[in-house]
């Protein structure tokens, strides 16, 4: 994978880590724009909550749709792109470039089976839990942009903030809404 990424002149590999614990240290030193993970949340040898501390987009290479769904359901990982391990190397490069540019990506080799996985999951009605702490005006702006489907990088660009500040506001919105993920925020707007 490293060789595939290094063949693209627009990408530079700045570090490698053996597990999530090591990843946090390497990311702190190297400050990557994108982190590529190859594993399932359960076998990542660390706490996926550590990913929330990274100021980077997360691309995950998975072996099957069930593992992809596990990453999507993980409340601690803001996964930007998913690639199947059997996809051509170009798909990984495309996913990293799209994640870096602030847009999400699911490789064609994974999208069909992932959709079947989602369709097989029974729908749940989500509703906002009343909170005693109102959103600040900035948090309300961030929430509106999340509900429009914008990624942190796009929100940061639109509001003139750093991605780290946007992540801080997203965390506050999730806590105040008593929700675990952006997907729940978006679903609550549709419900």
Domains of the chain, residue spans: 2-120, 137-190
Q: Is the pTM of this model over 0.85?
A: no
Q: How far apart are the C-alpha atoms of 155 and 60, rounded to whole Å?
A: 22
Whether 99 contacts 117, CB under 8 Å? no
Phi then psi for residue 106, to 5 deg, are: -130, 125
* Overall CATH class of domain 137-190: mainly alpha
List alpha helices for the chain, DSSP H. Answer: 2-7, 20-30, 65-73, 89-100, 108-120, 137-147, 152-159, 163-177, 182-190
- What is the C-alpha to C-alpha distance for residues 40 and 45, in angstroms, rounded to an integer? 10
Q: Which CATH number applies to 2-120: 3.10.20.30, 2.60.40.10, 3.20.20.70, 3.40.50.2300?
A: 3.40.50.2300
User: Which pLDDT score is estimated for 171?
Assistant: 87
pLDDT digits 0-9 by tens, 142-186:
999 988 888 899 999 999 999 899 999 998 888 888 787 777 777
Q: CA 35 to CA 79: how far, in whole Å?
A: 10
Burial label, 106 (beta-carbon count in 10 A; 0-12, 13-18, 19+): buried
Of the listed ranges 48-57, 103-112, 179-188, the least confidently predicted one is 48-57
DSSP at 85: T
- What is the Cα–Cα distance from 13 to 65, expressed in whole angstroms? 27
């Amino acid at each position: 994978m490293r060789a595939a990424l290094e063949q693209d002149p627009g990408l530079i590999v700045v570090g490698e880590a053996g597990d999530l614990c090591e990843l946090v240290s390497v990311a702190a030193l190297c400050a990557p724009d994108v982190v590529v993970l190859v594993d399932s949340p359960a076998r990542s040898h660390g706490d996926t909550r550590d990913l929330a501390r990274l100021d980077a987009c997360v691309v995950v290479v998975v072996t099957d749709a069930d593992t992809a769904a596990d990453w999507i359901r993980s409340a601690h990982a803001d996964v930007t792109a998913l690639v199947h391990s059997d996809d051509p190397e170009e798909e990984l490069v495309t996913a990293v470039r799209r994640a870096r540019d602030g847009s999400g990506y699911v490789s064609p080799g994974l999208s069909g089976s992932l959709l079947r996985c989602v369709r097989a999951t029974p729908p749940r009605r989500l509703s906002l839990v009343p909170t005693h702490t109102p959103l600040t005006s900035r948090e309300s702006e961030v929430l509106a942009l999340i509900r429009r489907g914008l990624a942190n990088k796009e929100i940061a660009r639109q509001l003139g903030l750093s991605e780290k500040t946007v992540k801080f506001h997203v965390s506050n919105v999730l806590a105040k809404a008593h929700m675990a993920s952006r997907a729940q925020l978006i679903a609550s707007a549709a419900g």
